[in-house]
Structure 1
């Protein structure tokens, strides 16, 4: 994948997981990276682990960039009847409002520069299908997908492309057992994962982080000059689980009929 020389990219939520990996890969290809995180310690770890030279932070003025990767997000699993308005506000403030604010600021700078650019929003497969224990999270990501499409329509005339990456379950810090507040939360999430494991076409629940990183950079790069308004799933085919489940049922039903034919006289 080719990143032009001096390609400037702003990455939010850059201190952890796939976000850190995105920053590292951009830097390795010679990009100028502006890394943002609400946690200063995460930026220090990013600097230490990904590369040793100084990175640009929100404390430095950003004149303009070629790409914005909106990667900050939260995921707090709770059942619908017990979820709180505080959780609702947290999800929509970080998963949606932050994207709106950052994208507005940087899109204005891109328009003023007059050379276009790209914006990649990190969404989720949860935007496209309901999941138990994730009502507010699903809603926030569904709203993000629609924001992505609307931004694409409005910013297209300025040669600014807007897409989202919709990962399935990714092995990041946010999804590890220690990130959940209590045993009940962990059991709730495990139950949801187990329910889709045998229905996923590729048989993989945890998506490789490299797949998410490479897809994000693909959409950010000049290789996708005519791709905009797309919500690209990287999920092992999870939305196809109903088809897979029905196919399995048909196979089992057919096997049962054939077995019955061997021991019964239908004439």
Structure 2
């Protein structure tokens, strides 16, 4: 296993949920760590924001040998969105890449205003799990099948996880369930394929739209108050802060494949 890498190599990097928040921040940070002739595939439901990010990345890469940046406007919670993303990845010229990096960042908080016993609608639950669990498995499987292991190719899969994968939060049954399922999914993947590098990374409490949603709508009063307190006391992390730690972990490349690493543990 390599360690203390200087960059992420000549890579094809796929990021879901890339149009805003943590995904957008990761795209910017990763672009600066790629060798010339690398490619970024940015996936989101928001086409306009993706185009803005693409323009920013291409402008900043002119002096560093260029970067291929492709956008896929798709909902990865739908079968068509997953298939379109895999198809777009296969269409990018990748004969010279030495690193495949897939970051499963797309996720939603779900309805946190209600408690577990209110979720009697199977369709509602299934729709949530489709985006937050099923799509991550199907997309990862599709990408890895399209780019099988070969000599000289390093393959890395990152799952953007959460403390909620390990601890229950009242009125957050959907989110906690989805994050716990995703962690186990990628732990199994790591066990099945020892040549694959797999990481579950919990970025900590980020100052994002999702956190604002949590502060406004969380049904459990004590939990809702704790989010407001973190904001007022300046304890929320910027996406850049957390992303910097993730980049360090990926560059050092010393983590146990399948591990759950939290921002505060590093």
TM-score, normalisation: structure 2: 0.73
- CA distance in 2 between counterparts of 1:125 and 1:187 reads 16
Equivalent residue in structure 2 for 1:44, among 48, 51, 61:
51
Residues 22-101 of structure 1 mapped to structure 2, 5 A cutoff: 22-30=26-34, 31-52=38-59, 55-58=69-72, 59=88, 61-62=91-92, 66-76=100-110, 77=112, 78-83=114-119, 84-101=121-138
Task: Compute the displacement of 1:220 (Å).
Answer: 3.6
- Mean alpha-carbon deviation: is it higher for 13-22 or for 164-173? 164-173
Alpha-carbon shift at residue 210 of structure 1 (Å): 2.4
Query: Does structure 1 retain, via aligned residues, the 8 Å contact 2:198–2:258?
Result: yes
- CA RMSD, 1 decimal: 3.1
Long gaps (5+) in structure 2? 62-67, 73-87
> Partner of 1:21: helix, strand, or coil?
helix
The structure 1 segments of at least 4 consecutive aligned residues displaced by more than 6 Å after TM superposition are none
SS in 2 for 1:74: coil
Name the counterpart of 2:168: 130
Give the equivalent residue in structure 2 for 1:192: 223
Q: Aligned partners of 2:107, 2:127: CA distance in 1, in Å?
A: 10
Q: Hey, what does 2:145 align to over in structure 1?
A: 108
Query: Structure 1: where are the runs of 5+ without partners?
Result: 238-267
Contact preservation (8 Å) 1:145, 1:164: yes
Q: Which residue of 2 aligns with 1:160?
A: 196
Q: What secondary structure is seen at the aligned counterpart in 1 of 2:171?
A: coil
Q: Whose helix fraction is larger, Structure 1's or Structure 2's? A: 1
Task: Give the aligned partner of residue 75 of structure 2.
Answer: none
Q: TM-score, normalised by structure 1?
A: 0.72
Question: Which of 233, 240, 261 matches 1:210?
Answer: 240
Q: CA deviation at 1:6?
A: 2.2
In 2, distance between residues paired with 1:190 and 1:49? 40
Larger RCO (CA within 8 A; separation ≥ 6):
2
Larger radius of gyration between Structure 1 and Structure 2: 1
- From the superposition, tell whether residues 226 and 172 of structure 1 become closer, same or farther in structure 2 (CA, over 3 Å): closer
Number of residues of Structure 1 aligned to a counterpart in Structure 2? 226
| Superposed displacement of residue 130, structure 1 | 0.6
SS in 2 for 1:56: strand
Structure-to-structure mapping, 1:188-267, within 5 angstroms? 188=219, 191-195=222-226, 205-221=235-251, 223-225=252-254, 227-235=256-264
**2:161–2:203 contact (8 Å) kept in structure 1:** yes
Q: Deviations over 1:120-177 (max 9, x none)?
A: 0011111111101101110111011101110101121xx2111111233211122225
